[in-house]
Amino acid sequence: VCVRVCVRVCVCACVCVCACVCVCVCVCVCVCSSVPQPKDDFQEELVIRPLHSGDIYASFQFRTLWETDFMRGNKVSHYRLFPKSLGQVISKFSVRELHISFTQGYWRTMQWGQPFLPSPPGAELWVWFQDSVTDVDGTWKELTNVLSGIFCASLNFIDSTNTVQPSASFKPLGIGNVTDHRFLRYATLPREIVCTENLTPWKKLLPCGSKAGLAVLLKSEKLFHSSFHSQAVHIRPVCQDWQCKTTSWELRQTLNVVFDLHTPGQGKLEWSLFKMFSRTLTEACPLASSSKIYIDITDDPQGEQFEVSPATHLLSQAMVLGDRRTFSVYDLTQQITFGTVRSLNLLIRWKSRDMLRPLLHAERYVAGYGLQTGEIHTLMYNNHPYRSFPVLLLDSVPWYLRLYIHTLTVTSKGKDNKPSYIHYQPSKDRVRPHLLEMLVQLPPNSVTEVTVQFERALLKWTEYTPDPNHGFYVGSSVISSLVPSIVAMDTNSTREQPLFSSFFPCKEESSYFMRVYTEPLLVNLPTPDFSMPYNVICLTCTVVAVGYGSLYNLLTRSFQIEEPSPGLAKRIANIIRKMRGVPPL
Amino acid sequence: SHAAIKIQPMRQFFSSGHTNNWAVLVCTSRFWFNYRHVANTLSVYRSVKRLGIPDSHIVLMLADDMACNHRNPKPATVFSHKNMELNVYGDDVEVDYRGYEVTVENFLRVLTGRLPPSTPRSKRLLSDDRSNILIYLTGHGGNGFLKFQDSEEISNVELADAFEQMWQKRRYNELLFIIDTCQGASMYERFYSPNLMALASSQVGEDSLSHQPDLAIGVHLMDRYTFYLLEFLEDIHPSSKANMNDLFKVCPKSQCVSTPGHRTDLFLRDPGSALITDFFGSVRKVEITMETINLTEPIHFVNEERQKETYSYVDQLPVSEIIHQKPKQKDWHPPDGFILGLWTLILLVFFKTYGMKHLKHIF
């Protein structure tokens, strides 16, 4: 604290604010003489993109950059903008990269286009460990437990039955030289529910919390009343400057939400910040070096079909998802953005919008009938008119769906399409899931279908969940691809770019990297009738009681002959005869 | 206070000797029509947080998610009163055990402290011998048992034994146990450890009834006992002097239809001297000191000589590299059972046919 205050205002303020006078003064003197580089930096931004169907897509990104080194034995003890809980996780578990996301809903690519940061439904966690870790599986188990406490999620259900080690997908997104996939672990929990209890600790990781800046808009009652909600945390080492000789740690917290047109009741193509979030903005986060809002106005720069108010003259162009898009920019660090009312409520009105036709799109479904066998079909669409590109398909299927890999077929346009790389790791019952990775070249303007048959296993009765008739989930397939881009992408990674366009590193100009997730599958397993143990006990006990009891009676009881008692008239007659002394009847 | 003027030993009798407060709040029911049990637990959570117990000292277990359930017409909310007056879910909730994690085993492990070593702090009950603990259970129950998630039960004997384990391990100073289920009084019949006070919403043979349905949401929102308990607690503030005798009067038979019961024979103090805030609130002891404390020298960042190698981003989809990837070295595992058996059979047959003396030639 002393050092920070010293940099801003010299000597005087330092003395009265800090309790330890002598220490503060001497530090003040030596630091104020030179201009120090900021050790950590925080940026926040919000991108709003109106969609073709009338829905609106809002993407928040909060990035903290910190020039520190968790790895080299430096004991990091002063945390300022970087949250301490995550810093301790990184240094304790020797994490090189961590990506965790919680999603509610499924991203509809055909209606909404491509998201800036894709995520599968449920929870997804993938981690690259440093090469100094000796027991990766043990460290992975401890890491998932610690993260389940930090994010209030059931991540402790991640164990060897749903963790896989991809051999070619999920290359590190940060810098580094090591790419030995022994240090990579990937797991999904498609059943995981996302609610306010996951948002609360996520908001607490931000430097300004939810009190100032863009995070005041994050109110759970509006965020979860939407078609799609996804929050994620990405930690990775990045280059500090263009020379890339030193690294700094980057923490990105992203939140993507798509608001449904018809939910609030109105049907008009008119959205405002107040309608979306039930809040307006009054100030930027004081700890942020940049705080901006971008509105995608690409289809109509003249403002005829599209209207944004209050108007702004700041425009920016960015290359994102293979396309050059134009954005109106609102800079929240400038006071004039808020105008005279000291609050910013953006109003966006439009009449119609072109559909962004996605070049790559995927679907998955289960075919077949009955509770014994089935077939998984994965369809991948290449909508480019003349270019073909490679995709890497990663499928992780739980062990209780026994895949028959000899029935795997990959067809495009009716003909067999042999993948150039297949990695298959068979499952082991109750130990690990199936892992299937294939590199397939998608021909232009075609549909590629991957089918594989499976058989359902019978679980032990203690392995069923308390609601087994709901079904069992199979995680989403991941399709990673290099999609040809319409405009030349920018390969210079250290140029000042908006956050939403600088997540995936770009190595070549003609294509960009993209990931698409398919739907998760819900499969019914043969479920026993759980009332049967009770019924069986009742029936067996009844049979035993009736059968054995009867036999016991027959064997152990002795029989006597008994005279039936005479009728009333005869009894009176016998009494009279007894009185007379005559033998009875 | 008056107690300080009286004889010193008497003071101990009138005030609790606790230094920290914990709460374990459990909802054991799954499925949308058991919305009221989650609302019960969340309203006690809300009161306990409002009276001062922080999230780090509350272990909240909810067996199903009602707020973000797709049947909920108002997502991220759980209401306790019809006409949607009070959202007990709030904006600041932290659920420690949720969904399938709420099992009898996890509940007993939390109470006794026997958790796996990698369990995070927020999922542990880190109480000591000066902690006052509030335990609240709600769900479907019967004579002597409480049902967890429609698939297993906890019996009153198990619960009493768990509390005895806690006493022997000195994990609580005083414990208040509240249960809102049908025939709830049966759950505290078997307690035998000291310093336990128990409250239940109904006697053995009686059912606890729910309060009122909300026609927009379509389910019953709260149980009667907890509804009136929440109303009572809304009037309590952190410095209130209300005591346990007031708590026993909550929800008489006219309001609750069932007869709430309580048990105080194991509690060593007089219940009239036990304040509500002893269990529902949080004790904060603040010591003001006038001494100055010398802080250590700040750690100066030494700019060590960094390596001169240049880093670069990794290619995300290196197609040629992937196609020519060598299959990775598989770790050698000792042969599995079947292979071992097969080889043993072959060797046995071999030696039987050719005789044991040939073994000498081999070894």
| Confidence band, pLDDT 50/70/90 cuts, at residue B294 | confident
Does A390 contact B310 at a Cβ distance shorter than 8 Å?
A: no
User: Which parts of chain B fold into alpha helices (H)?
Assistant: 2-5, 8-14, 35-50, 104-112, 156-168, 224-234, 244-248, 253-256, 277-280, 319-323, 337-354, 358-362
pLDDT digits (tens, 9 = 90+) for A301-320: 566 677 888 888 888 888 88
Cβ distance A48 to A295 under 8 Å? yes
In A, minimum Cα distance to B297 occurs at A23
Residue listed under structure tokens 């009602």: B66
pLDDT digits (tens, 9 = 90+) for B84-120: 688 999 888 999 999 999 999 999 999 999 999 999 9
Query: Mean pLDDT of successive 10-residue segments in chain A (585 residues)?
Result: 39 39 38 48 92 89 87 72 92 93 93 91 95 92 95 94 93 84 94 94 93 92 93 92 82 94 68 89 91 85 72 84 86 84 84 78 94 95 92 95 95 92 93 95 94 94 90 94 84 73 83 92 91 90 94 90 85 90 83
Residue B13: pLDDT over 60: no
pLDDT digits (tens, 9 = 90+) for A186-208: 999 999 999 999 999 999 999 99
Torsion angle (degrees, nearest 10) of CA B182, B183, B184, B185: 160
CA distance A190 to chain B (A): 14
Cα A269 to its chain centre, rounded Å, is 29
Does A146 contact B91 at a Cβ distance shorter than 8 Å?
A: no
ipTM of the complex, rounded to two decimals: 0.84
Which pLDDT value is given to residue A27?
A: 38
Which pLDDT value is given to residue A161?
A: 94
Which pLDDT value is given to residue A4?
A: 41
Which pLDDT value is given to residue A17?
A: 40
Identify the CA nearest to A506 among candidates A478, A522, A523, A487.
Answer: A487
pLDDT digits (tens, 9 = 90+) for B151-178: 899 999 999 999 999 999 999 999 999 9
Residue B235: pLDDT over 80: yes
In B, minimum Cα distance to A18 occurs at B295
| Confidence band, pLDDT 50/70/90 cuts, at residue B229 | very high
pLDDT digits (tens, 9 = 90+) for B31-48: 999 999 999 999 999 999
Please state whether the predicted TM-score (pTM) of the whole model is above 0.90.
no
Q: At what angle do helices B35-50 and B224-234 cross, to 10 degrees?
A: 20
Torsion angle (degrees, nearest 10) of CA A263, A152, A165, A523: -50
Annotated catalytic residue within B182, B220, B256, B262: B182
Residue B182 annotated among the catalytic residues of the structure: yes
Does A505 contact B101 at a Cβ distance shorter than 8 Å?
A: no
β-bridge partners, A296: A327
What SS3 state is found at A50? strand
| Minimal Cβ distance to B121: which of A149, A171, A194 | A149
Which pLDDT value is given to residue A26?
A: 37
CA distance B296 to chain A (A): 9
CA distances A440 to A448, A482, B38, Å, are: 9, 12, 48
| Minimal Cβ distance to A145: which of B76, B99, B119 | B119
Which pLDDT value is given to residue B287?
A: 78
In B, minimum Cα distance to A23 occurs at B297
Which pLDDT value is given to residue A23?
A: 38
Q: Indicate the DSSP class of residue A213.
A: G
What SS3 state is found at A505? coil
Chain A residues whose beta carbon lies within 8 Å of the beta carbon of residue B312: 175, 244
